[in-house]
Amino acid sequence: MAESKAQNISSQLWAIANDLRGTMDASSFKDYILPFLFYKYLSIHQEAYIIDNWGYDESDGLTVNEFYKQAVEENGLDECLLDIAGTLGYAINPEDTWVTLTEHIHNGEVVPSDYQRLFDNFNKNAEINKEAAADFRGVFNSVNLGDSGLGSTLTGRTKTLNAVVTKLDEIEFKDESGKDILGEIYEYLIGKFAANAGKKGGEFYTPHEVSVILSKLVTEDLDGKEDTFTVYDPTMGSGSLLLTVRNEVPNGHRQGAVSFYGQELNTVTYNLARMNLMMHGVTYNNMTLRNADTLGSDWPDGPDADGIDRPRSFDAVVANPPYSAKWDNNESKLKDPRFSEYGKLAPASKADYAFILHSLYHLNNEGTMAIVLPHGVLFRGAAEGKIRQTLLEKNYLHAVIGLPANLFYGTSIPTTILVFKKNRTTRDVLFIDASNEFEKGKNQNNLSEENIAKIIKTYRNRQDVDKYAHLATMEEIKENDYNLNIPRYVDTFEEEEELDLDEINRMIAKDNEEIAQLEKEIAEQLALLGVKM
């Protein structure tokens, strides 16, 4: 029920966004409506903390915001902010809370500088809790308050921002049971923005059905696991894939059950990921996200500048990197431990294998890695062919799964999922050709629950399925010169039914008889009318 309510509210917000964004494209307007949605979440979350921990009593006749301002007058701003930030990791000044902002808008008291002030104050307060500073610092820096797309004048831009805040304030972000569903709404909105952002959409969002498959693959062996589960996404986009993994972990929603790690090069998208995880209830001490170039800046080993130990390897690695991207493959990279043992570097024009090797390097010996890439990684030669052969000789590749074309935003090409494990005891590779089983959509193809279930069941059973899957021995793969092109292993050819030529001739003869009879009848009718043929 909560999901349908969240989808309904998301549709309302999408309609609002279309009304408010004017000439601004959807991929840009997300940088306003999503951050303000997050700001509302943080403010509501802070209110809840004050109610639970500061002795707030509704019978005193004060609103929570009024009670907060009174506490600041009595105890001082610094002491109040220190208390809030010490637990939540952030703190919002009384004059900057969502309630105060909306009151000022309704009373016509907002001036253009108010928005800059509240973001500046937030950044200042983000430094109070040193352990949380990296998670909250600059999270709203991507909100360009001077963008002419909001309005040609300062007053016009302020008016648009006021409209965004007002519309968000009008909507109740709870389901029928009173549960907060802001996180689900945020997720639906990200999907909507991605679907309408064209090629840019694929840069920050992996279609949910594909995320579900990757998540089920990397959590396959976790039944009954009680320890903290670590998951890493080296190209995390908006963080949705990390959150989907949590859904597949036993007790994954228990606080602290999952620790999230991720890197993202694009700063705007990195900020989206931070917001997304926190709005789904992930606390700052359960996530370590970095705004970094994954292929240039490796994940830090050992204690960082804050003295916190960052694990080098993870229980699961999931990735949907940019396909065949360019990267700096200078020779010094051959000394990088991520790539050194393979003797070759991915070509400068195609970083696909660089992402594979980076991800595999950070997978622990008991974990599973699943990565989505274009089919070229299965058969391209030269350096990529050498790396592929080494991966197979090391017995790391566990499965190859072919997906349908046109599943992703911004590209219609078919893709493949590669699954890796380091502790394999058999020398074989499972090939699944799921490229022909999907639901055709208006703009994109979709995978149904049945399509997903068949992929996962086949992966678990690890047996041949006629025209769908084949468990190939290493000898077969060697015979194919380490070419992993799926049709070499899974024959999906459907033989055409043999034609009965005698029956066809009988049908032709019958048709000729009927034609002759019709022609005779037409001639007789024309003769009656006096028409000569």
Same domain, 244 and 149: no
pLDDT at residue 26, as a whole number: 67
Q: Are strands 363-374 and 314-319 parallel, antiparallel or unpaired?
A: parallel
Q: What is the mean pLDDT of each run of 10 residues along the chain (533 residues)?
A: 66 77 72 90 95 92 95 96 97 97 94 91 97 95 88 89 89 73 79 67 72 95 74 93 93 89 92 92 93 86 59 91 92 91 94 97 96 96 96 98 86 90 96 92 86 97 96 96 96 64 81 82 72 63
Question: Are 120 and 256 members of one domain?
Answer: no
DSSP 469-514: EEEEEHHHHHHTTT---GGGT---PPPPPPP-HHHHHHHHHHHHHH
- Give the per-residue pLDDT at 1: 38
Q: What is the pLDDT of residue 307?
A: 59
d(CA 44, CA 56): 15
12: tokens are: 């309302």
The CB density around residue 109, as the number of other CB atoms within 10 Å, is 10
Residue 253 and residue 360 share a domain = yes
Closest alpha carbon to 489 in 386, 394, 416, 413: 416
Distance CA 288, CA 273 (A): 11
Which of 144, 177, 196 is at the close of a domain?
196
How much is the pLDDT for 520?
Answer: 78
Q: Look at residue 128 in the predicted model and tell me its pLDDT.
A: 97
Q: Is residue 494 situated within a structural domain?
A: no
Residues contacting 357, CB < 8 A, separation 6+: 338, 339, 342, 346, 387
Our count of domains for the chain comes to 3
Same domain, 524 and 476: no
Looking only at the bridges linking them, the beta strands covering 314-319 and 229-233 are parallel
Strands 428-433 and 469-473: antiparallel
Q: Which of 148, 174, 196 is the last residue of a domain?
A: 196
Please indicate, yes or no, whether residues 148 and 206 belong to a single structural domain of this protein. no
Would you say the pTM of this structure is higher than 0.95? no
Query: Which domain CATH number covers 246?
Result: 3.40.50.150
What does the alpha-carbon distance between residue 129 and residue 125 come to, in Å, rounded to a whole number?
8
What's residue 251's pLDDT? Answer: 85
Structure tokens at 29: 């307007």
Does one domain contain both 145 and 225? no
Q: What distance in Å separates the CA atoms of residue 158 and residue 145, rounded to the nearest whole number? A: 8
Query: 225 and 348 in one domain?
Result: yes
At residue 110, φ and ψ (nearest 5 deg) are -80, 130
Range of the domain at 131: 2-196
Among residues 358, 29, 26, 42, which one has the least CA distance to residue 163? Answer: 29
Task: Clarify whether residues 234 and 265 are in a common domain.
Answer: yes
In a domain, 186, yes or no: yes
Structure tokens at 74: 């009595």
Residue 306 domain flag: yes
On whether both 37 and 83 belong to a single domain, the answer is yes
Rounded CA separation 141/137 (Å): 9
**Same domain, yes or no, for 87 and 222?**
no
Residues 288 and 156 in one domain: no
DSSP label of 281: T
Q: pLDDT at position 498, please?
A: 66
Q: Both 187 and 234 in a single domain?
A: no
Positive or negative, the CA dihedral 249, 253, 254, 256 is: positive
Q: Which of 143, 178, 196 is the last residue of a domain?
A: 196
Q: CATH no. for residue 47?
A: 1.20.1260.30
Instruction: Give the three-state DSSP class for 64.
Output: helix
pLDDT score for 24: 74
